[in-house]
Amino acid sequence: MTQNKRFSSGAGFNTAPVFFTAISTILGAILFLRFGFATGTLGFWGAILIVLLGHLITLPTALAISEIATNRRVEGGGEYFIISRSFGLKIGSTIGIALFLSQAISVAFYVIAFTEAFEPLFNWWYNNYGYHLPRQAVSIPALLVLATVILKRGAGMGVKTLYFVAAVLFVSLILFFTGKPIETEEAFRQPGNNFGFFNREHFFMVFAICFPAFTGMTAGVGLSGDLKNPGKSIPMGTIGATLIGIVVYVALIWKFSVSASQHDLVEHQLIMSQIAIAGAVVIPLGLGASTISSAIGSVMVAPRTLQALAHDKIFPFRKINYILAKGKGATKEPYNASIVSLIIAFFFVAIGNVNMVAEIISMFFLITYGSLCLISFLNHFGAPPSYRPRFKSKWYFSLAGFILSVWVMFMINPGYTILAYIIIIVLYLIVEHFNKEQKGVVNIFKGAIFQLNRKMQVYMQKHQSDYESEEWRPAAVCISPHSFEREKVLDIMKWISYKHGFGTYFHFIEDYYSKHSWEKSREILKELIDLQKEENNALYIDTMISPSYTSAIAQVIQAPSISGMENNMVLFEFDRNNSDEIKRIIENIKLTKAGNFDVCIFASTHVTIRPKNGIHIWIRSTDVNNTNLMILLGYIILAHPDWHKGHLKIFSICSPGDCEATHHELNNLIETGRLPITLSNIEIISSTGNQTISDIISQKSKNAGITIMGFRDERIKHEGADFFTSFKDMGDIIFVNATKSKDIN
């Protein structure tokens, strides 16, 4: 921020320069050269619709600028400063570069339009010498004079010149409005037949021609670094110019409609000269005044945008930033930036035809306007405590302005719209490459996401009772001190929380809470997050400091889930070769069961998980509570891309001679909907007298990717830790204990 203060000491301008810069750009070349054509082509109501649609974009933008400008001190750089300090320097400077180019090329556009005021001279030359005098004969000297004024006298002289040309502009408009209708004896050329809406199919073509008339409303914002009180002058000058512009354009359309025929409006570019008092002299003067004033406005604003970009060290070379940021005199006049801006303008003036470029300029202006409206909307929606503007707009105005900006871009020219966004993306990638330490595009929506998350969590809590009757989803929580040496447990949590549920993983730090242990936890958390930065990972990771494993579990199961759901499952993990770990887990299962949590125990090995070997699920007809949860977990894990080559295989063990009874019992469970599979998916295995259940499972699922089996509280009472460690020569196992049977469709 302090960098910008080096060039924001300012010339001490008040509101008037903001207003006159904006209004003289709004009432510019399009007003004199194209609005007669628009009225003749579309009719009174069609032309009115152009004004309304154009201002549905520009008015919300004016309100957004005014709002943002009263929230903080606006320094040099105008729209660029507002966008960069709201969106961050990366995205702000990307749009700022595009904005600068638009402003610099606009100088050329207005100077070329200025030459149309000399149409009588060009006609005289052709009649006397027999060839057309190139427009550059006027445009290049005009730009040279303008460049001399700006470079020698600075913004102060530019503003004085602006006052003069604005006065000429207003006089010409007064003489136009007091002029009489065109008199003619031809019936088809009688005025007053324009009140309708013609040629609807040409509406957006004409809108594209006329829209640049409305882009001048932000012209005065670029003087922000030269204003005594930007928070006051920007809202008053910008909104005042926009509202007066609406009134003038509506009156202009009415005057055209009652003063000239549709034929004359379409055929004669300077039809205003035939209506105004002394129009042959006054209207070319007004056109010249309006275009040169718009050029003055642009040539004052563009260098200040470039200077602000350089002060923020956006460009890759330090020397370039230093040269462009350097100011001249006490007011830090952007002399070097003005030279660069004028070189760009000279290039396009020399080409002489910027019709194609003018559409691209409109694209970048619309991107800027849409960005400003989006900033305002996100600040309204995100409600950051630091956003306290004295001038307040409405969020729906800003949202409408953003949507309309994007829509109109595509309606004007889809090809140029896509090209404009491609250029913006390329610029962003370049800026991002050289300014990695600055805030990027991910920071734009933080406030909005915070508010959305806050509202969703409150809503879900208020409607928690509704979810008990709905389809079950996992909201799993896991705590482990072995995050770095046993990455499999993080994978299990990642698979469970993918797409269908939510998972929270806590790295357990056995210690008392202190500044030292807290700093240690932050370091571990950062390392874990860095390790888990991958696609398809929706696991939320945190740390838990507690003096014992039991107290840590008690804290974790009472902590609310950040998903807005209540946690409903606890996943323990242990190394099957370490019996002490499973004993510690068994001691704490009762603690989790007190809160009606489903319990999963992940018994890990050093064998690599092979998803292509599938998931084996072992069910028993007498263990319905666990069966549905096991099957559901199998389907949830298979949904993760890591398991795209995996499959599900279900086994059921019965006693010798009980195969038919088991078959019948399972069939009843399936038919009554208590078992969400078909009988063909189950392999019924009869145990022999000399085989234990663990032997059968070990034999069948030796090579399975993961094996899932249930356990009941009675099993823990009778066998304790031996049950969980009895499966030899097997891979990883998930033991499941559900509080109640899950209803699964």
Q: What CATH number is given to the structural domain containing 691?
A: 3.40.50
What number of other Cβ atoms are within 10 A of residue 14's Cβ? Answer: 14
In a domain, 521, yes or no: no
Stretch 407-425: mean pLDDT: 83
Query: Which residue would you say has higher pLDDT here, 344 or 741?
Result: 344
In a domain, 455, yes or no: no
Q: Are residues 465 and 320 in the same domain?
A: no
What number of other Cβ atoms are within 10 A of residue 320's Cβ? Answer: 15
Q: Are residues 347 and 412 in the same domain?
A: yes
Q: Looking at residue 109, what is its pLDDT?
A: 83
Q: Are residues 434 and 559 in the same domain?
A: no
Q: Looking at residue 1, what is its pLDDT?
A: 38
In a domain, 524, yes or no: no
Mean pLDDT is highest, among 4-13, 181-190, 249-258, 317-326, for 249-258
Stretch 653-671: mean pLDDT: 73
Q: Looking at residue 478, what is its pLDDT?
A: 93
Q: Are residues 578 and 633 in the same domain?
A: yes
Q: Are residues 439 and 557 in the same domain?
A: no
Distance, CA of 225 to chain centre: 28
Distance, CA of 14 to chain centre: 35
DSSP 3-state of 331: coil
Mutual angle of helices 279-311 and 136-177, in 10-degree steps: 120
Q: Are residues 146 and 259 in the same domain?
A: yes
| Confidence tier at 439 by pLDDT (50, 70, 90) | low
Task: Quote the number of domains for the chain.
Answer: 2
| Rounded-to-integer distance, Cα 280 and Cα 42, Å | 26
| Rounded-to-integer distance, Cα 442 and Cα 91, Å | 10
Helix (H) or strand (E) holding 541: strand 540-546
Residue 574 pLDDT exceeds 90: yes
Q: Are residues 431 and 553 in the same domain?
A: no
Query: Which residue would you say has higher pLDDT here, 667 or 604?
Result: 604
Find the DSSP H helices in 499-542: 515-531
Q: What is the spatial order of strands in the sheet that 648-654 belongs to?
A: 540-546, 502-510, 475-480, 569-575, 598-604, 733-737, 706-710, 615-619, 648-654, 682-686
Q: Are residues 405 and 469 in the same domain?
A: no
| Confidence tier at 507 by pLDDT (50, 70, 90) | very high
Q: Are residues 58 and 105 in the same domain?
A: yes
The model's pLDDT over 219-242, given as tens digits with 9 standing for 90+, comes to 666 666 667 777 777 788 888 888
Residue 654 and residue 662 in contact, taking contact as beta carbons nearer than 8 Å:
yes
Q: Looking at residue 443, what is its pLDDT?
A: 57
Q: Are residues 268 and 375 in the same domain?
A: yes
Distance, CA of 476 to chain centre: 31
Strand partners of residue 23: none
In a domain, 638, yes or no: yes
DSSP 3-state of 580: helix
In a domain, 515, yes or no: no
Q: Phi then psi for 650, rounded to 5 degrees?
A: -115, 135
Token pair in block for residue 21: 């810069």
Query: Which residue would you say has higher pLDDT here, 323 or 295?
Result: 323
The model's pLDDT over 156-199, given as tens digits with 9 standing for 90+, comes to 555 666 677 778 888 888 999 998 888 765 655 555 567 777 77
Q: What percent of the chain has pLDDT over 70?
A: 82
Q: Are residues 383 and 493 in the same domain?
A: no
> Exposed (0-12), middle (13-18) or buried (19+): which is 689, by Cβ within 10 Å?
exposed
| Confidence tier at 550 by pLDDT (50, 70, 90) | very high
Which amino acid is present at 334?
A: P
Which of these, 561, 144, 72, lies nearest to 349 by C-alpha position?
144
Q: What CATH number is given to the structural domain containing 145?
A: 1.20.1740.10
Q: Are residues 253 and 129 in the same domain?
A: yes
In a domain, 743, yes or no: no
- Domain of 327 in residue numbering reads as 2-443
Residue 469 pLDDT exceeds 60: no
The model's pLDDT over 702-738, given as tens digits with 9 standing for 90+, comes to 899 999 999 988 888 888 888 888 888 889 999 999 9
Q: Is the pTM of this model over 0.95?
A: no
Residue 194 and residue 32 in contact, taking contact as beta carbons nearer than 8 Å:
no
In a domain, 535, yes or no: no
Q: Looking at residue 220, what is its pLDDT?
A: 66
Residue whose entry in the numeric block shows the structure tokens 């323990």: 572
Residue 139 and residue 115 in contact, taking contact as beta carbons nearer than 8 Å:
yes
In a domain, 536, yes or no: no
Distance, CA of 544 to chain centre: 34
Residue partners of 232: CB distance under 8 A and separation at least 6: 15
Cα angle: 46, vertex 51, 53; to 5 degrees: 90
DSSP for 700-739, please give it.
Answer: HTTT-SEEEEE--HHHHHHHTHHHHH--TT---EEEEE-S
| Confidence tier at 5 by pLDDT (50, 70, 90) | very low
DSSP 3-state of 329: coil
